[in-house]
Amino acid sequence: MKTLVIDIGGTKFAMALFDGDRMARRESRATDRTGGREWMVTNVETLAREWMPFDRVAIGFGGPVNFATQVIATSTHVGGWQGFPLTAYLRDALGVPVIMDNDANVGAIGEAEYGAGRGADPVFYMTLSTGIGGGIYSNGSVWRGADSFAGEIGHLTIHPDGKDCLCGARGCFERHCCGLWLEHDYGEPAFELLKSPQFVDGYVEDLALGLKACIMLLNPARIVIGGGISKAGDKLFVPLRDRLRKNITNWSGARINVVPAALADDSVLWGALSLARSL
């Protein structure tokens, strides 16, 4: 059984071909955001045709996906995706079954089953990347909610009078903490900013506001953070855990178990392999 898996993000997209449970091939390219949906669909389709044959396709998409209808709800970072039935399009183009979910949900499956979340239940996975997304994994599956919007912590309000977010609200977790806006607000990419302990001190205050809400609501056994920013390692995670311990009073016995993703850039690819088994 050969499975093609696709991770569509606002900064890059990655594809891998699994032969059974073995990743046989992998490729990653930068996303041309200005090219919008058409650029991405053309690139994915062209590469997929080069990698044929395969038996099924699974996709993690960087934005809300209606899982029941398999239609993309929207993308706040790249234009042209609203209402696009990517699953049906690729099924017709490639002639194999296709399934898709939001990338944070797929990343949650990947980390829970193959990565840093193994042995913990429930797992909350957060992607800290171009944007911020979240996935709730428990009892062998993702909890998607009534409209596939569960886990969307990127648009929790952390500063009521904060900056305007692309979603139309203000002060969102994503607006103050994701890679896209950090670079916009500070003029440097996140990995450069995180070299400064002073920057990290302020940054973890905002991160802890969002994650506290998640801990209070879900009491996860473990929080796994993936995406480019999570690669900062201990210089981010040690002060983040300290900040969470200060914000969450002794009243709460909830554990503070926050770790970086173990699968690095491949959380979504491995999660997609698992998602494909439901086809």
Nearer to Zn ion, 133 or 271 (CB): 133
Q: Tell me the DSSP string of 238-254.
A: HHHHHHHHHHS-TT---
41: closest CA among 94, 86, 103, 106? 86
DSSP-assigned letter for residue 165: P
The CA distances from residue 23 to 50, 114, 156, 215, 271, in Å, are: 17, 13, 36, 34, 12
Per CB under 5 A, the segment of 163-171, 220-228, 238-246, 252-260 that binds Zn ion is: 163-171
Q: Which one of 94, 165, 208, 224 is in contact with Zn ion (CB under 5 A)?
A: 165
**What phi, psi does 85 have (nearest 5°)?**
-85, 75
Nearer to Zn ion, 167 or 254 (CB): 167
DSSP-assigned letter for residue 62: S
Q: Which one of 56, 77, 144, 155 is in contact with Zn ion (CB under 5 A)?
A: 155
The two tokens of residue 131 are 């944007």
Q: How many residues bind Zn ion (CB under 5 A)?
A: 5
Q: Which one of 8, 15, 142, 172 is in contact with Zn ion (CB under 5 A)?
A: 172
The two tokens of residue 248 are 């969450």
Nearer to Zn ion, 177 or 275 (CB): 177
- State the nearest-atom distance from the C-beta of 10 to Zn ion, in Å: 14
- State the nearest-atom distance from the C-beta of 76 to Zn ion, in Å: 8
- State the nearest-atom distance from the C-beta of 129 to Zn ion, in Å: 15
Binding residues for Zn ion (CB under 5 A) = 155, 165, 167, 169, 172
